[in-house]
Amino acid sequence: METLTLAPPLPRRRSLLFHQISVLLLTFSAYAAFHASRKPPSIVKSVLGPEVAAANASANAGWPPFNGPRGPHRLGELDLAFLSSYSAGMYLAGHVGDRIDLRRFLAFGMLGSGISTAAFGMGYWWAVHRLGFFLAVQIVSGLFQSIGWPCVVAVVGNWFGKSKRGLIMGAWNSHTSVGNILGSVVASSVLEFGWGWSFVLPGILIIIVGAFVLAFLIVDPKDLGFESPAMEIEMSDDGNGLKGSANGEIAEEIGLLESGGKSDVDLKAADLDSKAAIGFLEAWRLPSVAPYAFCLFFSKLVAYTFLYWLPFYIRHTAVSGKHLSHKTAGILSTIFDIGGVLGGISAGFISDRLGARAVTSVIFLLFSIPSLILYRLYGSISMRLNIGLMFLSGYFVNGPYSLITTAVAADLGTQDMIKGNSRALATVTAIIDGTGSVGAALGPLLTGLLTSQVDIPFPTDILLSYCHQIFVPFLVARVQHSCGLSLTLVDVIGVECSIVFEEQMIMLPGISFMGVLAYQIVGSFNSSLILECLNCIFNNMERICENTVAIDGKQNLLIDFVPVTRSGDWSHIGSREYMEDTHVCISDLAKKYGYHSLDQETVSFYGVFDGHGGKGAAHFVRDNLPRVIVEDAEFPLELEKVVTRSFMQTDTQFGKICDVQSTLSSGTTALTAMIFGRSLLVANAGDCRAVLSRLGMAVEMSKDHRPCCIKERNRIESLGGYIDDGYLNGQLAVTRALGDWHLEGMKGIGERGGPLSAEPELKMITLTKDDEFLMIGSDGIWDVFSNQNAVDFARRRLQEHNDAKLCCKELIEEAIRRGAMDNLTVVMVCFHLDPPARMRVARYTAPYRALTAVEAGRSNATTFRSCAKVQIFHQPPKEMSQVLNEIFLNKAMHEKS
Provide CB contacts within 8 A for 535, sequence distance 6+.
Answer: none
CA distance 320 to 323: 8
In which band, very low, low, confident or very high, does the pLDDT at 483 lie, cut at 50, 70 and 90?
Answer: very low
pLDDT at 790 over 90: yes
pLDDT tens sequence across 250-282: 333 334 333 334 444 343 444 444 445 567 777
Q: Where are the alpha helices (DSSP H) in 423-526?
A: 424-453, 461-471, 476-483, 489-500, 508-521
In which band, very low, low, confident or very high, does the pLDDT at 229 lie, cut at 50, 70 and 90?
Answer: low
CA 855 to chain centre: 54
Q: Where are the alpha helices (DSSP H) in 126-173?
A: 131-145, 148-159, 165-172
pLDDT tens sequence across 489-525: 333 333 333 333 333 323 333 333 333 333 333 333 3
Q: pLDDT at position 91, please?
A: 72
Mean pLDDT of the chain: 73
Share of the chain above pLDDT 90, in %: 29
Max mean pLDDT range (82-91, 714-723, 748-757, 859-868): 714-723
In which band, very low, low, confident or very high, does the pLDDT at 145 lie, cut at 50, 70 and 90?
Answer: very high
pLDDT at 478 over 50: no
Q: pLDDT at position 810, please?
A: 96
pLDDT tens sequence across 295-315: 778 777 777 777 777 887 787
Average pLDDT over residues 22-44: 91
Q: Which amino acid is at 470?
A: I
pLDDT at 374 over 80: yes
pLDDT tens sequence across 50-101: 554 433 334 345 788 887 777 777 887 888 888 788 878 877 887 787 678 8
Is 96:162 a contact under the CB 8 Å cutoff? Answer: no
- Angstrom CA distances, 114 to 104, 109, 176, 182, stand at 15, 9, 17, 15
Q: pLDDT at position 842, please?
A: 58
> DSSP per residue over 802-868, as a string?
--HHHHHHHHHHHHHHTT--S-EEEEEEES-SSPPPP-PPP--SS---PPPHHHH---HHHHHHHHH
Q: pLDDT at position 680, please?
A: 94
pLDDT tens sequence across 662-718: 888 899 999 999 998 889 999 999 999 999 999 999 999 999 999 988 889 989 888
pLDDT tens sequence across 544-575: 444 444 444 444 443 457 888 999 999 999 98
Average pLDDT over residues 631-642: 87
Q: pLDDT at position 18, please?
A: 85
pLDDT at 4 over 60: no
CA distance 679 to 563: 9
pLDDT tens sequence across 572-609: 999 899 999 999 999 988 888 887 655 556 889 999 99
pLDDT at 856 over 80: no
Nearest to 739 by CA among 632, 661, 642, 631: 661
- Please name each of the domains of the chain with its CATH number: 13-233+273-468+527-552 (1.20.1250.20), 566-896 (3.60.40.10)
CA distance 687 to 701: 12
Is 373:507 a contact under the CB 8 Å cutoff? Answer: no
Between residues 221 and 503, the one the model is more confident about = 221
Provide CB contacts within 8 A for 28, sequence distance 6+.
Answer: 172, 175, 178
Between residues 9 and 367, the one the model is more confident about = 367
Instruction: Label residue 766 exposed, middle or buried (CB < 10 Å: 0-12, 13-18, 19+).
Output: buried
Alpha carbons within 13 angstroms on the beta-carbon side of residue 312 total 30
pLDDT tens sequence across 441-465: 777 777 766 665 554 444 444 444 4
pLDDT at 759 over 50: yes
CA distance 157 to 149: 12
Nearest to 34 by CA among 152, 190, 197, 139: 152
In which band, very low, low, confident or very high, does the pLDDT at 356 lie, cut at 50, 70 and 90?
Answer: low
SS3 798: helix
